[in-house]
Amino acid sequence: MDNLGLYLTPILIWGSTWLAITYQLGKVPPEVSVAYRFALASLILFAWCGVRRLRLVFTWREHLWMAAQGALLFGINYVCVYLAEGEISSGLVAVAFSGIVFLNILGARAFFGTPVRLPMLLGAALGVGGVALIFLPELGAAAGFGRSERGLALAVTGTVSASLGNLVASRNQRQGLPVVQLNTFGMMYGALFVALYALAAGRSFSFDGSISYLLSLGYLALFGSVLAFGAYLTLVGRIGAGRAGYINVAIPIVALLLSTLFEGLRWQVCMVAGIALCVGGNILVLRRRGESGAH
């Protein structure tokens, strides 16, 4: 798949996973559903590796780095986002998480010496501003909702964890570790991390056998995890974490379109302006060669 396909795949999939997640809420604690999701995704990838006869033997140091990627990207990140959305509005979480574009750019500079170019910073600023405008009505309606300090701290922690996970994934690929196996073991370690957290938090490992839960779990595991993360982390390896991270400010556009179709969302001027800013930022970030996955 070319870079454009790798860029669009996670945007389209992750822009729709919010709808699948709504069918996960209910009988099963959210953290436990996350553990189920990544455990199933890991099993799918193990089966794929077996069919393709891909290498599954790695050194203990390589496993440590894969575990770090899994804990940061598939563990801490998801736990913090789920907990944050229980205390502050999802719009505020989305705005906080959009800051990952800045963290990825600065992190790539700090760890890999990737040049920081003005168009990338300007594109990132446009993107974050666009996300804020898109969720402006929700942010205004949710003013004072929940324990804002704790919720915002959790959202920022999840964003930092996801950015560090991106950088670890980039480091792992630079060391020659293949994306499929990285995700296979990374998702296994991430599922274990979330499961341990759920146990420590006293969550019940119940299960929902309804068709809606099973189908949404399958969609989140296969499409939202195996395919989307496979495409995204391949893109990270090709163009760097800074530019690839801009995917996170394009996802709300797809979510808006789906919300319009399935929930009757009524558009406002600020949403249109926000989308325009996101698109403009995309053009600035992606039209330049910027950073490369190989140095």
Q: pLDDT value at position 139?
A: 66
Mean pLDDT, residues 112-117: 84
The string of DSSP letters for 129-192 reads HHHHHHTHHHHHHTTT-S-HHHHHHHHHHHHHHHHHHHHHHHHHHHTT--HHHHHHHHHHHHHH
Residue that is written with structure tokens 């399935």 in the block? 262
Yes or no: say if 193 and 75 are a contact pair by the CB < 8 Å rule: yes
Mean pLDDT across the chain, nearest whole number? 86
Single-letter residue type at 292: S
Instruction: Read off the pLDDT of residues 267-282 as tens digits, 9 standing for 90 and up.
Output: 788 888 888 888 888 7
For the chain, the domains span: 3-286
Structure tokens of 142?
């949710």
d(CA 176, CA 54): 14
Quick: pLDDT tens for 30-83.
899 999 999 999 999 999 999 999 999 999 999 999 999 999 999 999 889 888
Q: Which two tokens stand for residue 172?
A: 């792992």
Q: Please give the C-alpha separations between residue 145 and each of 82, 158, 285, in angstroms, as whole numbers.
A: 16, 20, 34
Residue 166: the pLDDT is: 93
Q: pLDDT digits over 167-185, tens only?
A: 999 999 999 999 999 999 9
Q: Which residues contact 9 (CB under 8 A, 6 or more apart)?
A: 1, 227, 228, 231, 232
**pLDDT surpassing 80 at residue 284:** no
Q: How close are the terminal C-alpha atoms of the chain, in Å?
A: 21
At 126 the pLDDT is 87
* DSSP state string for 1-44: --HHHHHHHHHHHHHHHHHHHHTT-SSS-HHHHHHHHHHHHHHH
Q: pLDDT tens-digit profile of 177-230? A: 999 999 999 999 999 999 999 999 999 999 999 999 999 999 999 999 999 999
Which residue, chain included where needed, has tokens 């558009």? Answer: 267
Amino acid identity for residue 270 in this structure:
C
